[in-house]
């Protein structure tokens, strides 16, 4: 089996566990996934070479959704028809999901964390679920696992398209029995026209939940309410507002983490005290516990919420890289305004009195353009200092459609926030080191926001902070 695209790293591990020989090709593979693949003995070839692909002669090529027309291996596959190809979601459906009881986690934010929590809870309850997580979790111990065929399979349900030849959202392939609708906002400006377009694909996803299945919905999210009643299946709502089936209450946050209570239809269900911060993570945990319980018995309460106390999180999701009395360094996958604002608010509560420094790379297809620029500006305004990296792949965008980091920095400065934009990540790194590591008179939290590698400056900064 040939695999293109490191975003499919955990799927490659899953395929290998199923007995397939797996290799891949990609450009600029970076940790932590590159490390995980190497440790698993999966070779990832750098770059794309049709001659190499032809000589390897895999049985099938799985084409990732990052691959486009013009890619030399894609063009060779289309011209030669020498090797069959498919998309990752289609492969997963046919090889893994078709005969499993699937728990599919969807939403604009929190998919990876919620998927990891659900898998962790099922394992903690003594089951052997399969799972495929779009990141590198600390719990469970791997990002993918086949599990026992009689136990649920937990998978992250992405709304992004499946492949250049299949523009349906990935989650349409995932045959949900229990579907989590964590939240819904406009994102993926390269794929969707507007919020209504995103809601349309979520409606399509909801229509394939069977009548003996469950839709677990964030009952506080007005954008999800627009999807309708989903009368063809069972709906369970989760949230902080009155009227939700599962209610989150008594949320508290401090340096050691956070705590909250859960109730099920008015009856106490349990209390959680864990290391994760933020009300959004409380909701992730509540959604995961509800869905896991429904998967097991049709009742959320078959899962003990206290099991959440041991969950440690997912790498690159508020991952603490440095923890010193005067300096905390955090890496976060945040690439949407809401996720960034919630993270900064949570860090403010967790580190009262510290200088909060946000370092942002406009890298995702939504962050690179101006569509949500005002939202990013509002989100970053929760920091004291803001460092803006250059727009990724800026040359592929017209100037009038490109994220304007200079304007964002100027507007933040006008609000009294120390904000700067940089032409290169190397320049940003030099300034950040000089500004924050030369003197540590005040306690400081530095958080990096990117869905990529940030040209390696995150690891370098953490190493310099420890030196």
Q: What is the CATH number of the domain that holds 421?
A: 3.90.190.20
CB 24 within 8 A of CB 4: yes
Q: Which of 44-47's residues contact partners 24+ apart within 8 Å by CB, and which partners?
A: 44/6
Supply the pLDDT for residue 1.
43
Same-domain pairing of 386 and 269: no
- Give the helix/strand (H/E) hosting 113: helix 111-124
- Beta strand 43-46 with 61-63 is unpaired
Helix, strand, coil % over all residues of the chain, rounded to 5: 35, 25, 40
- Residue appearing with tokens 């290799």: 23
**Residue 306, SS3 per DSSP:** helix
Residues with Cβ within 8 Å of residue 55, at least 6 apart in sequence: none
Distance CA 303, CA 288 (A): 10
Same-domain pairing of 64 and 149: no
CB 452 within 8 A of CB 365: no
Distance CA 380, CA 357 (A): 9
Distance CA 432, CA 458 (A): 11
Same-domain pairing of 132 and 20: no
**Residue 461, both tokens:** 């900064």
Q: What torsion, rounded to 10 degrees, do the Cα atoms 395, 397, 400, 405 define?
A: -70
Query: What are the strands of the beta sheet with 444-449, ordered from one edge?
Result: 319-323, 327-332, 444-449, 355-360, 385-388, 418-421
348 bridge partner residues:
none
Distance CA 264, CA 244 (A): 9
Same-domain pairing of 65 and 178: no
Supply the pLDDT for residue 333.
85
Same-domain pairing of 215 and 342: no
Strand locations in 72-152, DSSP E? 85-87, 102-106, 130-132, 144-145
pLDDT one digit per residue (tens) for the chain, 467 residues: 444 444 578 888 888 888 888 998 888 776 767 787 888 888 888 899 999 999 999 999 999 988 999 999 999 999 999 999 999 999 999 999 999 999 999 999 889 999 999 999 999 999 999 999 987 788 898 889 999 999 999 999 999 999 999 999 999 999 999 999 999 988 887 888 899 999 999 999 999 999 999 999 999 999 999 999 999 999 999 999 999 999 999 999 887 789 999 999 999 999 999 988 889 899 999 999 999 999 999 999 999 999 999 998 787 787 889 999 899 999 998 778 988 998 999 899 888 899 999 999 999 888 999 988 999 999 999 999 999 999 998 888 899 999 999 999 999 999 999 999 999 999 999 999 999 998 777 899 999 999 888 999 999 999 999 98
Same-domain pairing of 306 and 323: no
Closest residue by Cα to residue 378 from 352, 344, 346, 402: 344
Max CA separation in the chain (angstroms):
64
Q: Using alpha carbons, list the distances in angstroms from residue 251 to 115, 248, 254, 259, 317.
A: 22, 7, 11, 6, 20
Same-domain pairing of 334 and 411: yes
The residue out of 67, 83, 99 marking a domain boundary is 83
Supply the pLDDT for residue 9.
81
Same-domain pairing of 391 and 454: yes
The residue out of 83, 109, 135 marking a domain boundary is 83
Closest residue by Cα to residue 105 from 128, 129, 127: 129
CATH number of the domain enclosing 6? 3.40.50.720
Same-domain pairing of 341 and 388: yes
- Beta strand 102-106 with 214-218 is unpaired
**Residue 161, SS3 per DSSP:** strand
- Residue appearing with tokens 């400081």: 444
Residues with Cβ within 8 Å of residue 148, at least 6 apart in sequence: 127, 128, 129, 130
Classify residue 307 as exposed, middle or buried by CB count within 10 Å of its CB (0-12, 13-18, 19+).
buried
Domain that holds residue 252: 90-310
Number of domains in the chain: 3
Supply the pLDDT for residue 453.
85
Distance CA 349, CA 34 (A): 34
**Residue 466, SS3 per DSSP:** helix
pTM beyond 0.85: the answer is no
Supply the pLDDT for residue 30.
67
166 bridge partner residues:
163
Q: Is the dihedral of CA 239, 245, 251, 257 positive or negative?
A: negative
Same-domain pairing of 72 and 130: no
The residue out of 287, 310, 333 marking a domain boundary is 310
Same-domain pairing of 325 and 414: yes
- Give the helix/strand (H/E) hosting 215: strand 214-218
Closest residue by Cα to residue 432 from 370, 386, 379: 386
Supply the pLDDT for residue 126.
95
Same-domain pairing of 132 and 229: yes
Supply the pLDDT for residue 397.
87
């Amino acid at each position: 089996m040939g695999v293109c695209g490191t975003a499919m790293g955990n799927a490659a591990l899953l395929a290998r566990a199923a007995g397939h020989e797996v290799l891949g090709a990609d450009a600029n593979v970076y940790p932590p996934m590159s490390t995980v693949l190497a440790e698993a003995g999966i070779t990832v070839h750098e770059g794309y070479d049709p001659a190499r692909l032809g000589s390897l002669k895999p049985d099938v090529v799985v084409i990732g959704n990052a691959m486009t027309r013009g890619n030399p291996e894609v063009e060779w596959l289309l011209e030669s028809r020498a090797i069959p190809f498919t998309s990752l979601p289609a492969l997963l459906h046919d090889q893994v999901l078709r005969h499993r009881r699937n728990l599919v986690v969807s939403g604009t934010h929190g998919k990876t964390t919620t998927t990891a929590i659900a898998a962790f809870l099922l394992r903690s309850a003594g089951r052997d679920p399969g799972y495929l997580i779009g990141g590198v979790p600390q719990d469970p111990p791997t990002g993918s696992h086949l599990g026992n065929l009689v136990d649920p399979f937990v998978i992250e349900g992405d709304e992004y398209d499946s492949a250049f030849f299949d523009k349906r959202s990935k989650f349409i392939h995932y045959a949900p029995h229990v579907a989590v609708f964590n939240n819904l906002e406009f994102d993926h400006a390269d794929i969707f026209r507007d919020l209504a377009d995103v809601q349309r694909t979520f409606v399509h996803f909801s229509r394939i939940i069977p009548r003996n299945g469950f839709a677990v919905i964030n009952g506080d999210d007005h954008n999800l309410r627009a999807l309708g009643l989903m009368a063809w299946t069972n709906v369970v709502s989760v949230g902080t507002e009155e009227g939700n089936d599962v209610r989150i209450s008594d949320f508290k946050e401090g340096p050691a983490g956070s705590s909250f209570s859960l109730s099920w239809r008015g009856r106490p269900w349990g209390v959680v005290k864990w290391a994760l911060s933020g009300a959004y993570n409380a909701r992730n945990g509540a959604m995961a516990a509800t869905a896991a319980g429904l998967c097991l018995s049709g009742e959320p309460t078959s899962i003990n919420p206290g099991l959440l106390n041991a969950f440690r999180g997912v790498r690159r999701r508020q991952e603490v890289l440095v923890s010193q009395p005067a300096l905390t360094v955090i890496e976060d996958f945040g690439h949407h305004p809401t996720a960034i604002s919630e993270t900064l608010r949570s860090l403010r509560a967790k580190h009262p009195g510290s200088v909060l420094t946000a370092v942002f790379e406009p890298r995702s297809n939504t962050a690179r353009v101006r569509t949500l620029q005002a939202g990013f500006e509002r989100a970053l305004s929760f920091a004291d200092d803001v460092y803006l990296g250059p727009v990724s792949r800026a040359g592929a965008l017209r100037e009038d459609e490109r994220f304007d980091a200079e304007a964002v920095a100027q507007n933040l400065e006008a609000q009294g926030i120390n904000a700067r934009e940089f032409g290169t990540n190397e320049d940003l790194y030099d300034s950040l080191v000089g500004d924050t590591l030369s003197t540590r008179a005040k306690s400081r939290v530095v958080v990096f926001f990117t869905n990529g590698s940030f040209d390696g400056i995150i690891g370098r900064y953490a190493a310099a902070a420890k030196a």
